[in-house]
Amino acid sequence: MSPAPHTFVTRVTGSVHVIGAGLLGASIGLGLRERGVEVTLEDQSPTVVALAADYGAGRARAEHDPHPSIVIVATPPDVVADVVASALARFPDAVVTDVASVKLAPFVELKRRGVDLTNYVGSHPMAGRERGGAIMARADLFTARPWVICRDEETPASVLSAVEAIALDLGSVLIEMTPEEHDRSVGLVSHVPQVISSLLAARLVPAPELSMNLAGAGVRDTTRIAASDPELWVQILGANSEPIVEVLDAFVADVQQFADALRAIEAPGSRRQVADLMAQGNLGVKRLPGKHGSSERFTSITVLIDDQPGELARLLTELGDLGINMEDLRLEHSPGAEIGFAEIAVLPEVAERATTDLTERGWRTL
Amino acid sequence: MSPAPHTFVTRVTGSVHVIGAGLLGASIGLGLRERGVEVTLEDQSPTVVALAADYGAGRARAEHDPHPSIVIVATPPDVVADVVASALARFPDAVVTDVASVKLAPFVELKRRGVDLTNYVGSHPMAGRERGGAIMARADLFTARPWVICRDEETPASVLSAVEAIALDLGSVLIEMTPEEHDRSVGLVSHVPQVISSLLAARLVPAPELSMNLAGAGVRDTTRIAASDPELWVQILGANSEPIVEVLDAFVADVQQFADALRAIEAPGSRRQVADLMAQGNLGVKRLPGKHGSSERFTSITVLIDDQPGELARLLTELGDLGINMEDLRLEHSPGAEIGFAEIAVLPEVAERATTDLTERGWRTL
């Protein structure tokens, strides 16, 4: 094992046992090992355990090993309830958590079986990669990502703080929610946008090639996540279908109302209906947290950049020289043109100075 | 007038008369004046003409001025047909075009009136800004943007090339389409994504604040354009309602089918239906042109950056030093965390080297 790059304060006490040595399990192992925590691994597949161990995520659990203080279940969602129940039985003194992306179904199933859940609290680190497996694992996979912990009134403080210690040691930002709140929240802000983006992109399939030339930044942004893996998403959506369907039904009603207003655009009230629905969209997008969780909106400046290596770096360096803090950046390329646009978001109060200073330095701003 | 910054080859011959001196009209005037083209202006409002003239977009047309060779109608869409008809009558030797964002309705109206359209060809430069008016006009507004020209079989070559000369002199990329193709294309790749994005964002309005903390890059991208101005969009959508409604109806059917499959996710065939629709989304997003109009897809590398000025510039400078060409860039901030992620798109063949080189230089990549 390589030495830790920084001096860490480690919150986790005792050893940690990880069941399921895929992307999440192996990443948790790697991150905790970096902090000097003893990690043991277990997986249905001995090869997967050996691979994760090779990467430094921990070592296979041996018969005579002392009991872990924390067990982390990192298996696919459909077996989580089984594995959590068996972990609670096998390690009665350990705190058990799982990291599945859906939280209500396994909790309900465990309750139904009458399992004593005193030592269990479910959690969900909002991190992932496009491809899975221990081979893709990273010690810093969870850095700066939200880690949801689903306690209830009965969760003892000691159990909660054990799982919080894992999340904090791995660099995550703690968020506390009930399983219902969690599933509804990810349904709304992650699962539904995925479905809508995929179905919007699907509408591009029958379009003539010519139409694609008029595609700009709007449609590209709106459909970017439509490139996601269908197999993975069938699992996620299937395990959280209820809250997703509820939002989709409301959304369908909105789209139908909108289409009906457009169909009869000359009828009295139609234009107002269209405008009102779009104004609701303005309100909705303002609710999304921006940088550092604030809902602050920025002013954007578009700068033309020659499409050659180094130009964007030069622009950003000059922005730094000018003392202008860039809050966000988006790039856009025009089809067929050897030029690009950098859309820079800055605080409204510096926007005018930024434009003037950049223009003085020879940049073309829009 | 300031001297042209470069030596240009000017394609436009004769003088150009612009009717409507708002953002587009004044920007066309500015761009053509920079190339030494004589530009006269006209607007319902004498103040608007005076303002555009002050900015250098041309001068007010005088009674005794010789006839222009080209007339550009840059008025709001609802009066385009009227203004084009009157321009063709007033300047029988001039080529007349318009730059409205919808092309079929004015064309049909002109035909209906029996206007001789030999000297007319409609066009649509795909450029704009969030705010309108001559005050926002820019000579380079059209640089590298697609400029659609809606010729038909009867358009004489000389008429077509006169309008092409305008678009090329202003730095645009020419695209030829029929009015029907144009309206369907912008309906699909611009108007429908706007509607969907707005209505998806509208669904965030009733959500609890807590849910917003789980919002990631996916929902942010999908709803970004939902911040657009409802009043402006009511005009645009109203003028192109037919193709938009057609796509919205098909989209609604897709969402309903998807929701029904999710509702009965355990039924035989449901999971496959979900997967198939998402796979269609994969195909659709692949059709969008990437950099320089190619449909090539890139490999993305996520780099952790400390959230302080200069860090991103340093990353891009080092990428340049390493000879790695960045094809695209997206930034992401985690709520509550003092760290950000830069998602860099590179050609698949350099992805591994880029990751290795960046890691060697101390960057943390995911």
Quote the CA–CA distance of A46 and A291 in Å, as a whole number.
43
Three-state DSSP state, A42 = strand
Contact B119, B96 (CB under 8 A): yes
Quote the CA–CA distance of B147 and B149 in Å, as a whole number.
6
Per-residue pLDDT band for A1 (boundaries 50, 70, 90) equals: very low
Q: Is the pLDDT of residue A36 over 70?
A: yes
Query: ∠ CA B230-B231-B234 to the nearest 5 degrees?
Result: 85
Reported as type and span, the H/E element at residue A300 is strand A299-306
**Ramachandran assignment for A135, one of left (phi > 0), alpha (psi -120 to 50 degrees), beta (any other):** alpha
Q: Is the pLDDT of residue A52 over 60?
A: yes
Neighbours of B137 (CB within 10 A): 25
Both tokens of A255, joined, read 């789209």
**Closest residue by Cα to residue B193 from B329, B288, B273:** B288
Cα–Cα distance list, B105 to A89, A216, B79, B90, B183 (Å) = 72, 23, 11, 22, 9
Facing A230 at nearest CB: one of B228, B278, B323:
B278
Whole-number pLDDT of residue B125 = 94
Query: Which residue's entry shows tokens 């096998």?
Result: A90
Q: Which residue has the higher pLDDT, A151 or B71?
A: B71
Both tokens of A352, joined, read 């005018």
Q: Tell me the sheet residues that pair with A342.
A: A303, A331
Residues 6+ apart with CB under 8 A from A88: A96, A115, A116, A117, A119, A120
Contact list in B for residue A332 (CB cut-off 8 A) is none
- Report chain B's terminal Cα–Cα distance, integer Å: 52
* Percent of chain A at pLDDT exceeding 70: 91
Whole-number pLDDT of residue A291 = 45
Contact A333, A311 (CB under 8 A): no
**Residue of A124, A242, A255, A365 for testing the chain B interface, max B β-carbons within 10 Å:** A255
Contact A123, A170 (CB under 8 A): no
Q: Is the pLDDT of residue A103 over 90?
A: yes
Contact list in B for residue A197 (CB cut-off 8 A) is 218, 222, 281
Helices (H) and strands (E) in chain A, counts: 14, 12
On whether ipTM exceeds 0.90, the answer is no
A203–B188 CB contact, under 8 Å:
yes
Mean pLDDT on A292-313: 69
Quote the CA–CA distance of A287 and B200 in Å, as a whole number.
13
Residue-wise pLDDT tens digits, B305-359:
876 667 888 888 888 888 887 777 777 765 555 567 788 888 888 888 998 999 8
Contact list in A for residue B245 (CB cut-off 8 A) is 259, 262-263
Q: Chain A residue closest to B231 (CA)?
A: A275
Whole-number pLDDT of residue A335 = 52
Beta strands, E only, chain B: 16-19, 39-42, 59-60, 70-73, 95-98, 122-125, 146-150, 173-176, 299-306, 328-333, 339-346, 364-365
**Closest residue by Cα to residue A20 from A86, A113, A105, A93:** A86
Query: Which residue's entry shows tokens 């008025």?
Result: B75
Q: In what order do the strands lie in the sheet with A16-19?
A: A59-60, A39-42, A16-19, A70-73, A95-98
B185–A207 CB contact, under 8 Å:
yes
**CB under 8 A, 24+ apart: contacts of A138-141:** A138/A27, A138/A30, A138/B366, A139/A27, A139/A30, A139/A31, A139/A33, A139/A34, A140/A31, A140/A171, A140/B304, A140/B364, A140/B366, A141/A23, A141/A24, A141/A27, A141/A31, A141/A170, A141/B366
B292–A337 CB contact, under 8 Å:
yes
Q: Chain B residue closest to A286 (CA)?
A: B227
Whole-number pLDDT of residue A94 = 97
Whole-number pLDDT of residue B338 = 57
Q: Chain A residue closest to B233 (CA)?
A: A275
Q: Is the pLDDT of residue A70 over 80?
A: yes
Whole-number pLDDT of residue A3 = 44
Q: Is the pLDDT of residue A127 over 90?
A: no
Whole-number pLDDT of residue B266 = 94
The pTM of the full predicted model, rounded to 2 decimals, is: 0.79
Whole-number pLDDT of residue B294 = 39
Q: Is the pLDDT of residue A126 over 70?
A: yes
Please list the pLDDT of chain B residue by residue as tens digits (366 residues).
444 445 567 899 999 999 999 999 999 999 999 999 999 999 999 999 999 999 999 999 998 999 999 999 999 888 999 999 999 999 999 999 999 989 998 999 999 999 999 999 999 998 866 556 788 888 988 988 899 999 888 899 999 999 999 999 999 999 999 999 999 999 999 999 999 999 999 999 999 999 998 998 889 989 999 988 898 889 889 989 999 999 999 999 999 999 999 999 999 999 999 999 999 999 999 999 864 333 356 788 888 887 666 788 888 888 888 888 777 777 776 555 556 778 888 888 888 899 899 989 988 887
Q: Which residue has the higher pLDDT, A235 or A283?
A: A283
Per-residue pLDDT band for A109 (boundaries 50, 70, 90) equals: very high
Residue-wise pLDDT tens digits, A233-254:
898 899 899 999 999 999 999 9
Whole-number pLDDT of residue A336 = 52
Neighbours of A295 (CB within 10 A): 11
Residue-wise pLDDT tens digits, A181-233:
999 999 999 999 999 999 999 999 999 999 998 998 889 989 999 988 898 88
Both tokens of A256, joined, read 């139908």
A146–B222 CB contact, under 8 Å:
no
pLDDT averaged over every residue in chain A: 89
Chain A and chain B share a number of CB contacts under 8 A equal to: 454
Whole-number pLDDT of residue A2 = 43
Query: Which residue's entry shows tokens 């960057």?
Result: B363
Reported as type and span, the H/E element at residue A165 is helix A157-169
B325–A309 CB contact, under 8 Å:
yes
